[in-house]
């Protein structure tokens, strides 16, 4: 009996062994040709680890030699932010029922912890700045920006402190699910992801931030620290301000156009008709096209002087041929149409999935109560689609800020029709991501300005995302 059972299981064991062997061969075929890159990455990690003691010694030496008039303002401001916000968080937890009324000694300890954490965390962003915003000869604008940076830096350590405070005051969970919960093996599984994020996200982010604080002296290779001058110069740059306005306008138009059209098309495509799967596939495939190819497709349509398909049709029928890509008013609309067409397939995919999950019994009950098709859609279907709409709103805003560079480059390589005499005010389609890329890779442009633009663009998108989660998600209906 045992012999027959082993004979029966041997083919499965052979198949499993062959699968393991194929997996190993695949991994070897992937990593072996790239051993030089892996070796460079390991050298980078080893260099970062070995340079850590030197970094700590340099940090201690920095604070030892730093003038007190530059250190104490940041420490006092960070301590003030720390004690106020921490006591406010403790009071919020008490009033929300998470914690009982704390004793006086506990309030004192919480205040001391918040004060120390705020004062220490305030130095995190001031060290790269070398506390330059508190120098005696700094101008008023950079000093005010330095105060804001210090307040934000103080919050970096306070957020984990608030989370710890909430965890202490929250009722403990008795039943913890998960095979690796509270075990070192769980952190071991997270280590590869943390390494990848550190190498390709956190390290480049820190490098860009440090670059934004410096300015290259052309044509010499040296660089010099300029504190927050790059940010101040961007605030007074007319081209950058116009680029910001253009970006916000184009983003709003792309989001409105893509979401409204995709919902309408998804509603039609979700009907029970023959070959519905084929129609849905054809509707979704534009999302697989890159923004550059999308720009080329729309360039063939909106090319001027009768060479484009749209102008050929308009000239043949109406006798007119608008300058789609040279007119200051029309060029942004071409970018909006191309970008919305590129992302609309992604939106349709999610909306169709949402429409298939709408309970049919609710629609039938509303129909029996006398509600017409429009009323059923407005009162039942659309509210139940709010989770999908909210998700698509966040992704479409991010795409409109970051993902349309290829489309703008293909349709309007110079940033669109010039604004002002000689383009002194920029271009009509010179969005922030296009200006950032142009300034970063054009000859003679200071790299620090491009770094400052990258930081500001990231802060704008992050701020808009936080606002959407803070105010719009409240109206999202997750249950039928």
| 1-58 residue pLDDT tens | 444 444 445 777 777 778 778 878 877 776 677 667 667 777 777 777 777 788 788 8
If asked whether residues 96 and 133 sit together in one domain, one would say yes
Tell me how many domains the chain contains. Answer: 3
Q: Which domain holds residue 42?
A: 14-48
- pLDDT at residue 432, rounded to an integer: 93
- pLDDT at residue 150, rounded to an integer: 92
Return d(Cα 375, Cα 362) in angstroms, integer. Answer: 12
Q: How many of the other CB atoms lie within 10 Å of CB of 277?
A: 9
- pLDDT at residue 66, rounded to an integer: 84
pLDDT for 309-323, tens place per residue? Answer: 888 888 888 888 888
User: Does 40 map to a domain?
Assistant: yes
* Among 349, 400, 399, 389, CA closest to 473: 389
Q: Which residues contact 10 (CB under 8 A, 6 or more apart)?
A: none
Eight-state DSSP code of residue 202: I
User: Does 107 map to a domain?
Assistant: yes
User: Does 199 map to a domain?
Assistant: yes
- CB contact at 8 A, 272 and 388: no
Q: How many of the other CB atoms lie within 10 Å of CB of 323?
A: 14
If asked whether residues 260 and 356 sit together in one domain, one would say yes
If asked whether residues 415 and 305 sit together in one domain, one would say yes
pLDDT < 70 stretches in the chain? 1-9, 30-31, 34-35, 37-38, 90, 92-107, 161-183, 217-222, 306, 443-445, 479-480
- pLDDT at residue 6, rounded to an integer: 47
C-alpha radius of gyration, the chain, whole number: 29
If asked whether residues 242 and 319 sit together in one domain, one would say yes
**CATH number of the domain within which 461 lies:** 1.10.3720.10
Q: Which residues contact 130 (CB under 8 A, 6 or more apart)?
A: 225
Last residue of a domain, one of 5, 22, 48: 48
Take residue 242 and report the two structure tokens written for it: 């116009």
- pLDDT at residue 167, rounded to an integer: 61
Return d(Cα 87, Cα 218) in angstroms, integer. Answer: 50
Identify the residue whose tokens are 């051993």: 35
If asked whether residues 305 and 437 sit together in one domain, one would say yes
Which phi and psi angles does 217 have, rounded to 5°? Answer: -95, 100
- pLDDT at residue 7, rounded to an integer: 46
Q: How many of the other CB atoms lie within 10 Å of CB of 26?
A: 10
């Amino acid at each position: 009996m045992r012999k027959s059972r082993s004979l029966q299981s041997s083919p499965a064991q052979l198949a499993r062994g062959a699968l393991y062997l194929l997996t190993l061969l695949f991994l070897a075929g992937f990593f072996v040709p790239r051993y030089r890159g892996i070796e460079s990455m390991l050298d980078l990690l080893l260099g970062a680890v070995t340079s850590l003691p030197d970094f700590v010694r340099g940090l201690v030496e920095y604070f030892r030699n730093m003038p007190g008039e530059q250190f104490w303002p940041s420490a006092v401001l960070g301590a003030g932010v720390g004690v106020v916000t921490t006591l406010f968080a403790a009071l919020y937890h008490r009033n929300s029922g998470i914690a009982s009324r704390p004793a006086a000694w506990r309030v004192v300890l919480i205040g001391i912890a918040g004060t120390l954490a705020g004062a220490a965390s305030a130095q995190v962003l001031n060290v790269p700045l070398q506390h330059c915003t508190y120098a005696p000869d700094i101008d008023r604008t950079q000093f005010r920006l330095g105060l804001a940076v210090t307040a934000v830096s103080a919050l970096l350590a306070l957020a984990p402190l608030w989370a710890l405070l909430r965890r202490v005051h929250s009722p403990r969970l008795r039943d913890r699910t998960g095979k690796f919960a509270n075990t070192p093996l769980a952190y071991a599984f997270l280590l590869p992801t943390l390494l990848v994020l550190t190498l390709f996200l956190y390290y480049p982010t820190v490098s860009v931030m440090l670059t934004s604080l410096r300015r290259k002296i052309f044509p010499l290779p040296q660089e010099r620290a300029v504190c927050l001058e790059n940010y101040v110069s961007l605030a007074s740059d007319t081209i950058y301000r116009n680029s910001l306005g253009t970006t916000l306008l184009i983003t709003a138009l792309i989001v409105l156009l893509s979401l409204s059209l995709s919902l309408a098309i998804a509603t039609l495509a979700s009907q029970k008709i023959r070959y519905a799967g084929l129609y849905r596939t054809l509707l979704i495939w534009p999302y697989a096209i890159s923004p550059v190819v999308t720009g080329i497709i729309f360039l063939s349509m909106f090319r001027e002087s009768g060479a484009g398909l749209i102008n050929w049709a308009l000239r043949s029928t109406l006798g007119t041929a608008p300058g789609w890509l040279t007119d200051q008013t029309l060029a942004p609309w071409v970018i909006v149409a191309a970008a919305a067409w590129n992302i609309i397939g992604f939106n349709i995919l999610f909306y169709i999935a949402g429409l298939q999950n709408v309970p049919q019994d609710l629609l039938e009950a509303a129909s029996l109560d006398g509600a017409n098709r429009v009323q059923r859609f407005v009162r039942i279907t659309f509210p139940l689609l709010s989770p999908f709409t909210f998700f698509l709103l966040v992704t479409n805003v991010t795409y409109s800020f970051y993902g349309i560079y290829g489309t703008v480059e293909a349709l309007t390589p110079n940033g669109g029709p010039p604004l002002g005499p000689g383009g002194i005010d920029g271009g009509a389609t010179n969005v922030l991501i296009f200006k950032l890329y142009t300034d970063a890779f054009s000859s003679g442009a200071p790299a620090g300005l491009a770094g400052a633009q990258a930081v500001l663009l990231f802060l704008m998108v992050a701020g808009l995302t936080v606002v959407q989660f803070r105010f719009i998600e409240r109206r999202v209906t997750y249950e039928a």
